[in-house]
C-alpha cells in the first residue's frame, strides 16, 4: 500500500474512532441526564451487551436480511477464483461467497473479522460489470473486511438505533422523576439525541467508504476500474431500485434505491461523483 493511502487510512481510522467514542459517550450521557449515575452505569452495561451481540451475529443478520444464499464453487468457479486471487493480494483468508437473487447490481461484505467474513453479490452485478470492474468491486469489499469496517458500522448502528429508540420512549413515557432535565430538557433530548446519533452514523459510514475505495484500488491495482464500476452501479441503482432494510443500506457499495434531490445531505454513502474523483486522482498519481 502506498504511503499516501496508508496516511489517509490512518487519519480515517482516527476520525472514526473519535466518532465511535462520541456515539457511545452520548448514549451514556443520556442515561446520566435521565436518571443520574446509576442509570448512566446501566446504559454503559447495555451498550456493552449490544456491542457484543453486534460483534458475534452481524454477519448472520446481514445475510439473512439480504436473503443471500451460499454460492457454491461449482455454480460460479470463475467468481470464486477471482475472490481467492484478490483475497491473497489483500493478505486475507478467502471469505465465503453468497448470491442475492436481485437484478440490481450491488454487493456488500460482512463478518466480525477476516476469519469470519462473507462477500455477497447480486445476480445483476455479475451480469452487468466487465471483469476488471467486478474485480474492483470485490477488492472494495475485501478492503472493508481488512479494515474491519463491518464491525465498526454494526456497533455504530446498534448504539445509534438504541439512542433513537430511547428518544421515542422518552417522547411517550417521559423520564425518571429525579431526572435533572425537566420538561423542556427532556423534550430537547428526545428530539436532538436521535438526530445527533444519525449524523454520527452517517459520518462513520462515509469515512469507511472513502477508506475502502482507496484500499480496494490498491488491492486490485486499478483505481480507474473501481471508479468506472461505481459510475455504472450508481446509474443502475437509480434505474432498478432494490428494496432493503434501512439498517442494511450502509453495507452496500452504492445506495440501493433512488435518491431524492436533497438526500445526499443525509446519505450513508458519500456522493458517487466525489468517490470517483478521488479514485481518478489515485490513478493519475
* pLDDT per position as a tens digit, 242-261: 888 776 787 899 988 765 54
pTM for the complete prediction? 0.74
Question: Using CB atoms within 10 A of its CB, is residue 120 exposed (0-12), middle (13-18) or buried (19+)?
Answer: buried
- pLDDT at residue 92, rounded to an integer: 95
- pLDDT at residue 231, rounded to an integer: 96
For the chain, which ranges sit under pLDDT 70? 1-37, 39-41, 43-48, 50-55, 151, 153-201, 247, 258-266
141 catalytically annotated: yes
Task: Exactly one of 75, 101, 127, 141 is catalytic; name it.
Answer: 141
- Per the structure, the count of domains in the chain is 1
- pLDDT at residue 260, rounded to an integer: 55
258: domain range? 3-284
- pLDDT at residue 125, rounded to an integer: 97
Amino acid at each position: 500500500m502506498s504511503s499516501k493511502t496508508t496516511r489517509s487510512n490512518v487519519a480515517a481510522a482516527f476520525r472514526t474512532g473519535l466518532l465511535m467514542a462520541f456515539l457511545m459517550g452520548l448514549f451514556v450521557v443520556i442515561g446520566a441526564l435521565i436518571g443520574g449515575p446509576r442509570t448512566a452505569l446501566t446504559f454503559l452495561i447495555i451498550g456493552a451487551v449490544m456491542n457484543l451481540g453486534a460483534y458475534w451475529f452481524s454477519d448472520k443478520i446481514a445475510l439473512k436480511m439480504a436473503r443471500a444464499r451460499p454460492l457454491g464453487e461449482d455454480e460460479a468457479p470463475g467468481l470464486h477464483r477471482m475472490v481467492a486471487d484478490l483475497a491473497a493480494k489483500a493478505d486475507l483468508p478467502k471469505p465465503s461467497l453468497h448470491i442475492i437473487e436481485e437484478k440490481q447490481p450491488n454487493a456488500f461484505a460482512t463478518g466480525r473479522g477476516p476469519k469470519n467474513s462473507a462477500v455477497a453479490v447480486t445476480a445483476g452485478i455479475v451480469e452487468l460489470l466487465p471483469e476488471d470492474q467486478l474485480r474492483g468491486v470485490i477488492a472494495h469489499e475485501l478492503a472493508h473486511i481488512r479494515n474491519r469496517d463491518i464491525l465498526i458500522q454494526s456497533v455504530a448502528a446498534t448504539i445509534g438505533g438504541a439512542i433513537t429508540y430511547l428518544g421515542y420512549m422518552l417522547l411517550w413515557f417521559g423520564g425518571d422523576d429525579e431526572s435533572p432535565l425537566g420538561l423542556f430538557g427532556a423534550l430537547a433530548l428526545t428530539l436532538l439525541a436521535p438526530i445527533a446519533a444519525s449524523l454520527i452514523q452517517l459520518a462513520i459510514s462515509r469515512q469507511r467508504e472513502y477508506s475502502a475505495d482507496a484500499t480496494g484500488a490498491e488491492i486490485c491495482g486499478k483505481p480507474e476500474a473501481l471508479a468506472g464500476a461505481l459510475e455504472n452501479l450508481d446509474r443502475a441503482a437509480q434505474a432498478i431500485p432494490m428494496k432493503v432494510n434501512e439498517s442494511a443500506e450502509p453495507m452496500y457499495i452504492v445506495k440501493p434505491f433512488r435518491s431524492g434531490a436533497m438526500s445526499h445531505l443525509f446519505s450513508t454513502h458519500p456522493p458517487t461523483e466525489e468517490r470517483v474523483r478521488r479514485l481518478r486522482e489515485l490513478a493519475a498519481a
